[in-house]
Structure 1
Amino acid sequence: MSHLSRTLPVKRAAHVYLVQDGKLLLVEERMDDGSIFYGLPGGKAHPGETLGDAAVRQVLVETGLTVTDLVFLSLLEGELLTGTRNECYANFGRFTATFSGELNPTDPEVVGIRWVPFEEVEMLVRYGPPPEIEERNPLIWVPTRDFVKGQPRAYYPI
Structure 2
Amino acid sequence: MNPMSRTLPIKRAAHVYLVNDRHLLLVAERMDDGSIFYGLPGGKAHLGESLAAAAVRQVRHETGLSVTDLQFVSLLEGEMLTGTRNECYATFGRFTAHFTGDLAPTDPEVVGTRWVPFDEVLSLVKFGPPPEVEERNPLIWIPTRDFLNGQARTYYPI
TM-score, normalised with respect to structure 2 = 0.98
The residue correspondences of 1:144-155 to structure 2 (distance < 5 A) are 144-155=144-155
Post-superposition CA distance 1:71-120 (Å, at most 9, x none)? 00000000000000000000000000000000000000000100000000
Distance 2:102 2:117 in 1: 19
Question: What is the CA-CA distance between 1:141 and the residue it aligns to?
Answer: 0.5
CA–CA separation in structure 1 for the residues paired with 2:138 and 2:93: 16
Following superposition, the deviation at residue 140 of structure 1 comes to: 0.6
Residue 98 of structure 1 corresponds to 98
Offset at residue 4 of structure 1 (A): 2.7
Q: CA RMSD in A?
A: 0.8
**Deviation sequence 1:15-70 (CA, Å, 0-9, x none):** 00000011000000000000000000000000000000000000000000000000
Going from structure 1 to structure 2, the CA distance change for 1:76 and 1:3 (only over 3 Å counts) comes to closer
Question: Which deviates more, 143-152 or 3-12?
Answer: 3-12
* Distance in 2 separating the partners of 1:113 and 1:2: 45
1:20-99 equivalences under 5 Å are 20-99=20-99
| Structure 1 segments unaligned to the other structure (5+ residues) | none
Q: Could you tell me which amino acid in structure 2 is paired with residue 45 of structure 1?
A: A
1:5 deviation in Å? Answer: 2.3
Name 1:128's counterpart in structure 2. 128
- Counterpart for residue 14 of structure 1: 14
CA distance in 1, matches of 2:2, 2:13: 31
Query: In 1, distance between residues paired with 2:4 and 2:24?
Result: 42
**Runs of 4+ in structure 1 over 3 Å off:** none
In 2, Cα distance between equivalents of 1:3 and 1:137: 23
Q: So what's the TM-score if we normalise by structure 1? A: 0.98
1:57 maps to a residue whose letter is R
In structure 2, stretches of 5+ residues that fail to align are none
SS at match of 1:76: strand
State the 1:3 CA deviation. 4.2
Once the two structures are superposed, residues 113-146 of structure 1 have per-residue CA deviations (whole angstroms, 9 ceiling, x without a partner) of: 0000000001001001101111101111010011
**Percent of aligned pairs with the same residue?**
78
- 1:110-129 correspondence to structure 2 within 5 Å: 110-129=110-129
Residues of 1 paired with 2:43 and 2:140: CA distance? 13
Give SS of 1:143's match: helix
